[in-house]
Amino acid sequence: MRVVLLGTAAGGGCPQWNCACALCTAGLEPRTQDCVAVSADGAGWYLLNCSPDIRAQILGTPALRAGPGPRETPVRGVLLTDAELDHSLGLLMLREGGGLPVSAPETVLHGLSPLRAILDGYGSSAWTSTFDVPGLRVSVLPVSDKKPKYVSSTQDGPWVVAYRIEDPATGGVLVYAPCLKSWPPGFDAFVADANLVLLDGTFYAPDEMAGVGGPDQLAMGHLPITTSLARIAAHPGPRWAFTHINNTNPALDPASPEHAAVRASGASLPPDGTEYTL
């Protein structure tokens, strides 16, 4: 199984267009909004989430570019972890590919009804709550009941899930969990024997947003890295990598003590474009 990190930042990317904080003006390597591509054979690719930056991400990844036919694309489908706009707005950029399968939990599909109505006007998309990636096995774990701000539905969750994707041919296992409100029940078993866990790295510490007038991190549905590091220490088996990193996260700076603490734990903060073979 091939895994490409198309984007590794939280909503808005880094730097953010409306932010002049120390990190956004530090000249760090830019990061686009979180999105991952997986493939069993290197020919057909499935997106995990679909960021607003998806056009640039596809064009910047040779394996995902169109061809060899004039309208052929190796992008075969999308799996959404939730209904947040920074994980789904990229579907509008893929509207020319009418009929592209989009998989998500029923709750998420319901929440996305306004976006679905727009996309269906360009061609009937295949919206489904089944998770089928040819050549790979997909398992789903509900991890949060936090729904997007724009959703008024009182429908029970899950509103956020994590994916475990296994390659039966190689035994490789990827876990993708970019949004964790907590370390949920069953998550230890979900990551057991995984080769790579892409974990929510939105914020480093629980008071990080206070400096920019933001809400509490847990209220935003994100477990701080400082809490996750203790859990990682108890599970040294997988390769741990933080993704979905917010522009306020000091660990973005390779020279920071926070970055050093992540690396000392055995985890990493890989940049956009990182590829793994599992």
Domain ranges of the chain: 2-273
pLDDT classification of 124: cutoffs 50, 70, 90: low
Instruction: Say yes or no to pLDDT of 19 above 60.
Output: yes
CA angle 208, 213, 218 (to 5 degrees): 50
CA angle 233, 237, 242 (to 5 degrees): 65
pTM over 0.85: yes
CB-CB neighbours of 106 under 10 Å: 12
Instruction: Say yes or no to pLDDT of 207 above 60.
Output: yes
Instruction: Say yes or no to pLDDT of 175 above 60.
Output: yes
Instruction: Say yes or no to pLDDT of 61 above 50.
Output: yes
Contact 163, 176 (CB under 8 A): yes
Q: Quick one: 33 exposed, middle or buried, by C-beta within 10 A (0-12, 13-18, 19+)?
A: buried
pLDDT classification of 98: cutoffs 50, 70, 90: low
Angle between helices 225-233 and 257-264 (to 10 degrees): 20
pLDDT, position 215? 54
pLDDT, position 219? 60
CB-CB neighbours of 171 under 10 Å: 11
Q: Quick one: 19 exposed, middle or buried, by C-beta within 10 A (0-12, 13-18, 19+)?
A: middle
Q: Which residues of 130-161 are buried (b: 16+ CB within 10 A; e: fewer)?
A: ebebeebebebbbbbebbbeebeeeeebbbbb
pLDDT, position 213? 47
pLDDT classification of 84: cutoffs 50, 70, 90: very high
Dist CA 144 CA 174 (whole Å): 20
Instruction: Say yes or no to pLDDT of 157 above 80.
Output: no
Kindly report the average pLDDT of the chain as a whole number: 92
Q: H/E element holding 38?
A: strand 35-39
Average of per-residue pLDDT across 238-266: 95
Percent of the chain with pLDDT over 70: 95
Instruction: Say yes or no to pLDDT of 211 above 80.
Output: no
pLDDT, position 70? 87
- Which amino acid appears at position 201 of this protein? G
The domain defined by 2-273 carries CATH number 3.60.15.10: yes
Dist CA 219 CA 12 (whole Å): 18
Dist CA 254 CA 275 (whole Å): 20
pLDDT, position 96? 81
Contact 169, 132 (CB under 8 A): no
